[in-house]
Amino acid sequence: MSEYAIETEGLTKVFRGAWSKRELLAVDNISLRVPAGTTYGLLGPNGAGKTTFVKMLLSCTHPTGGHARVFGRDTQDADSRRPIGYLPENHRFPTYMTGWGMLDFYSALSGIDTAVRRKRIPEMLELVGLDDRAHHLRLGKYSKGMLQRVGLAQALMHEPRLLILDEPSDGVDPVGRKQIRDVLQNLEQKGVTIFLNSHLLAEVELFCHEVAIIQRGKLALSGTVDDLTHGSGYRVESVNVPERLQTELRAASRAATSANGTLQLLYATREDANRAVDLLRAGHCEIEALARTKSTLEEVFMKTVEGDKA
Amino acid sequence: MTATLALIRDTFREAFARRIFWGFFGCCTALLVFLVFILRIDVVEGALATVSIFGNRLPTTNVQNLVQQTQSVIAMVLYFAGMALSVFASAGLVAAMFEQGRIELLLSKPVSRAHLLLGRYAGNVLVVSANIFYLVAGSWAIFGMKTGIWGAGYLVSGLCTIFVFSVLLAVIVLVGVLWDSAAVAIMVTFAIMILTPILAQKATLERLLSSEWSRDIVRVLYYALPKISDISVIIRHLILNQPIQSWMPVWSTGLFGAAVLALGVWKFQRRSF
């Protein structure tokens, strides 16, 4: 079995108009490896090519160039989709189906036999927090949050080894989000690879170990969340710092704030932070906190996206 | 097999939900009720004694002739009007499959595209077949019980109607794959339904047309397109126990349907969603 859940090499998609010669390069030569068992976030601004990339993994969209493999199998092979559970972003589940009927239909397409389906449907509906009343209610009567939950249940029915989720918590209330996150964390512990496409950067940062940022169809950045947000500076906090010393400390700092007698200073390098500590100790000031600061994923994202625009 | 059954069952469920199935079923039931209660045929020792509709006696003729003529009328109504209604109803069922947000989820399953499309196609044919069979077999049984005449030609006419519908459904599928539009699918299919009876008058058209190239166009269209009108003649002959001159309209229509369906599957496999 391949050590990578997803492998792409030079994956490219060019959309061409049926009658015109106009071309749109949606995905540009993306090579990406998602190790099996990891939680991976795919980020990018609207229109960056994320959804096209995901659709090529599922063979909904045919690549113009390059190729993609799922657990070592070429995505052109229908069997490559057997270990995948997928929740699309703008899904349109048939409204005439009930929650039960929908899970029954899609899991039958995944090849699960009737007895197993009957056993697993109530388990899955319960897992995503849909009560008995929802089981036989038509999807047309479901709220957006309920549709997301039943969509997630659908993706989990056949016990996938790779879960591809496009905005899974879209329209879900905070309690539901927490519930979905718990479900995903439980799956992660069982070794399921989770590939998350989300605009909620805080959610991705909280949940994913690795991320890739796509910008204008190209892979702009990829790596572990820890590496990408690691060590952007140092924070020093002190109390009752005399005015004269404050001026000296502020001059060398990258940023400084003062509130309720506490001075917070940000330094770009360890040397600057140490020098500030020395000055504070020499001035008999108490050190309240000394810590390495991290960038948020949002900062990394914005830097990448805006840097690319520049 | 699990996936095929799921696709067929899903098409039935959608037809039920859209009231398509029940609409057909209601019309068929109304016609059967009419035959059971309104049409009275009294046969005495093999000869037709009385025929009455709404209690009014009709002139009596040969019983077999009357049954065959009545069956022929039902078969023609079913063939043309029923077919038009079926096309109208089925176009939406096919196009619904290609809706964004729905097709992606279907394609994400470990089922080949050909399997998905043909499963939906089979489900659609079965939805219409169930109703045609209900009407034809039901009315055949009623006529049989009332008159003792059990001619198989009428049952075969039902199969012919299903066959022609399945050919037209192949057109709906191809148009659906190409343009995702129920409206365009209906227009194209109705255009074929209107054009083919005109082309059936090939001999007359060839006489009327002055240039050879225009006569060639008529010939090509006649042989290439389904022969809906010619098959209606075959159906009448089957019911009336008359000899069939040629089966060419049937097999050439079948070839057309197979080619169009194969093209639809091929385009579906190549298409990006």
Is A100 contained in some domain? yes
**Statement: residue B56 has pLDDT above 70:** no
Within this chain, do residues A99 and A156 fall inside the same structural domain, yes or no?
yes
**Cα(B112)–Cα(A35) distance, integer angstroms:** 27
pLDDT of residue B257: 97
Closest by alpha carbon to B261, among B172, B165, B161? B172
**Statement: residue B46 has pLDDT above 60:** no
Nearest to A111 among B16, B101, B110 (CB): B110
Give me the mean pLDDT over the B25-46 stretch: 78
**Cα(B36)–Cα(B139) distance, integer angstroms:** 9
Residue B99, SS3 per DSSP: coil
CB pairs under 8 A between A and B: 86
Nearest to B101 among A91, A97, A154 (CB): A91
| Interface contact flag, A88 B104, Cβ < 8 Å | yes
**Statement: residue B55 has pLDDT above 80:** no
Closest by alpha carbon to A204, among A194, A214, A190? A194
Q: Quick: pLDDT tens for A245-280.
A: 998 998 888 888 888 888 989 888 889 999 999 999
pLDDT of residue B60: 58
Residue B192: other Cβ atoms inside 10 A: 18
- A chain contacts of residue B98, beta-carbon cutoff 8 Å: none
Instruction: Work out the pLDDT band at A295, boundaries 50, 70, 90.
Output: confident
| Interface contact flag, A94 B103, Cβ < 8 Å | no
Nearest to A109 among B3, B100, B103 (CB): B3
**Statement: residue A2 has pLDDT above 80:** no
- Strand-by-strand arrangement of the A262-267 sheet: A255-259, A262-267, A233-239, A286-293
Instruction: Work out the pLDDT band at B59, boundaries 50, 70, 90.
Output: low
Percent with pLDDT over 70 in chain B: 91
Give me the mean pLDDT over the B43-52 stretch: 62
> Which amino acid is residue A308, in one-letter code?
D
**Cα(B185)–Cα(B175) distance, integer angstroms:** 5
Burial A28-53 (b: 16+ CB within 10 A, else e): bebebbbebbbbbbbbbbeebbbbbb
**Statement: residue B52 has pLDDT above 80:** no
Within this chain, do residues A73 and A32 fall inside the same structural domain, yes or no?
yes
Closest by alpha carbon to A260, among A239, A286, A244? A239
Nearest to A109 among B18, B100, B109 (CB): B109
**Structural domain boundaries, residue A268:** 233-293
| Interface contact flag, A92 B16, Cβ < 8 Å | no
pLDDT of residue A103: 96
Question: Can you give the CATH number for the domain in which A275 is found?
Answer: 3.30.70.980
CB of B68 closer than 8 Å to CB of B239? yes
DSSP readout, A35-75?
A: ETT-EEEEE--TTSSHHHHHHHHTTSS--SEEEEEETTEET
Within this chain, do residues A207 and A130 fall inside the same structural domain, yes or no?
yes
Within this chain, do residues A261 and A130 fall inside the same structural domain, yes or no?
no
Within this chain, do residues A178 and A209 fall inside the same structural domain, yes or no?
yes
pLDDT of residue B47: 60
Phi-psi region of B140 (alpha: psi -120 to 50; beta: other; left: phi over 0): alpha
pLDDT of residue B57: 67
Within this chain, do residues A265 and A131 fall inside the same structural domain, yes or no?
no
Residue B167: other Cβ atoms inside 10 A: 24
| pLDDT averaged over every residue in chain B | 89
Give me the mean pLDDT over the B79-94 stretch: 89
pLDDT of residue B230: 94
| Interface contact flag, A109 B273, Cβ < 8 Å | no
Which residue is closest to B8 within chain A, CA to CA?
Answer: A105
Strands (E), chain A: 4-16, 23-35, 39-43, 65-70, 73-74, 84-87, 162-166, 193-197, 210-215, 218-224, 233-239, 255-259, 262-267, 286-293
- B chain contacts of residue A111, beta-carbon cutoff 8 Å: 2-3, 110
pLDDT of residue A137: 93
Q: Closest Cα of chain A to B20: distance in Å?
A: 13
Within this chain, do residues A111 and A155 fall inside the same structural domain, yes or no?
yes
Which of the residues B105, B113, B127, B267 would you substitute to probe the A interface, choosing the one with the greatest number of A C-beta atoms within 10 Å?
B105
- A chain contacts of residue B18, beta-carbon cutoff 8 Å: 96
Within this chain, do residues A127 and A257 fall inside the same structural domain, yes or no?
no
Residues paired with A264 in a beta bridge: A237, A257
**Cα(A210)–Cα(A139) distance, integer angstroms:** 34
- A chain contacts of residue B112, beta-carbon cutoff 8 Å: 78
Nearest to B111 among A94, A109, A154 (CB): A109
CB of B231 closer than 8 Å to CB of B166? no
**Statement: residue A112 has pLDDT above 70:** yes
DSSP readout, B63-75?
A: HHHHHHHHHHHHH
Is A310 contained in some domain? no
Q: Quick: pLDDT tens for B118-129.
A: 999 999 999 999
- A chain contacts of residue B7, beta-carbon cutoff 8 Å: 109
Give me the mean pLDDT over the A93-105 stretch: 94
Is A276 contained in some domain? yes
Domain count, chain A: 2
pLDDT of residue A46: 87
Using a CB–CB cut-off of 8 Å, the residues of B that contact A are: 2-3, 5-7, 9-10, 13-14, 16-18, 96, 99-112, 270, 272-273
pLDDT of residue A231: 66
Q: Closest Cα of chain B to A264: distance in Å?
A: 50
Within this chain, do residues A150 and A259 fall inside the same structural domain, yes or no?
no
| Interface contact flag, A110 B110, Cβ < 8 Å | yes
Q: Quick: pLDDT tens for A184-221.
A: 999 999 999 999 998 888 888 888 999 999 999 999 88
Burial A261-280 (b: 16+ CB within 10 A, else e): eebbbbbeeeebbeebbebb
Residues paired with A33 in a beta bridge: A7
Instruction: Tell me the backbone φ, ψ of residue A267, rounded to 5 degrees.
Output: -120, 145
Nearest to B6 among A82, A90, A108 (CB): A108
Q: Closest Cα of chain B to A297: distance in Å?
A: 29
* Ranges B13-17, B145-149, B248-252: which has the least confidence: B145-149
Q: Quick: pLDDT tens for B159-169.
A: 999 999 999 99
Give me the mean pLDDT over the B112-137 stretch: 94
pLDDT of residue A227: 84
CB of A286 closer than 8 Å to CB of A238? yes
- B chain contacts of residue A114, beta-carbon cutoff 8 Å: 2
Is A137 contained in some domain? yes
Within this chain, do residues A238 and A223 fall inside the same structural domain, yes or no?
no
Give me the mean pLDDT over the B120-140 stretch: 93
pLDDT of residue B150: 87
* Domain-terminating residue out of A213, A228, A243: A228
Residues paired with A138 in a beta bridge: A98
**Cα(A247)–Cα(A229) distance, integer angstroms:** 30
Report residue A238 as tokens.
């002190």
Within this chain, do residues A90 and A143 fall inside the same structural domain, yes or no?
yes
| Interface contact flag, A62 B270, Cβ < 8 Å | yes
- Cα B26 off chain centre by: 18
| Interface contact flag, B108 A97, Cβ < 8 Å | no
Give me the mean pLDDT over the B12-17 stretch: 91
Within this chain, do residues A22 and A117 fall inside the same structural domain, yes or no?
yes
Highest mean pLDDT among A241-245, B244-248, B252-256: B252-256
| Interface contact flag, A81 B6, Cβ < 8 Å | no
Whether the pTM exceeds 0.90: the reply is: no
- B chain contacts of residue A96, beta-carbon cutoff 8 Å: 13-14, 16-18
B63 or A246: which carries more pLDDT confidence?
A246
| pLDDT averaged over every residue in chain A | 90
How far apart, in Å, are the Cα atoms of A20 and each of A17, A23, A24, B150, B178? Answer: 5, 8, 12, 61, 17
| Interface contact flag, A106 B105, Cβ < 8 Å | yes
- B chain contacts of residue A164, beta-carbon cutoff 8 Å: 108
CB of A99 closer than 8 Å to CB of A136? yes
Question: Can you give the CATH number for the domain in which A38 is found?
Answer: 3.40.50.300
Residues paired with B57 in a beta bridge: B52
Percent with pLDDT over 90 in chain A: 58
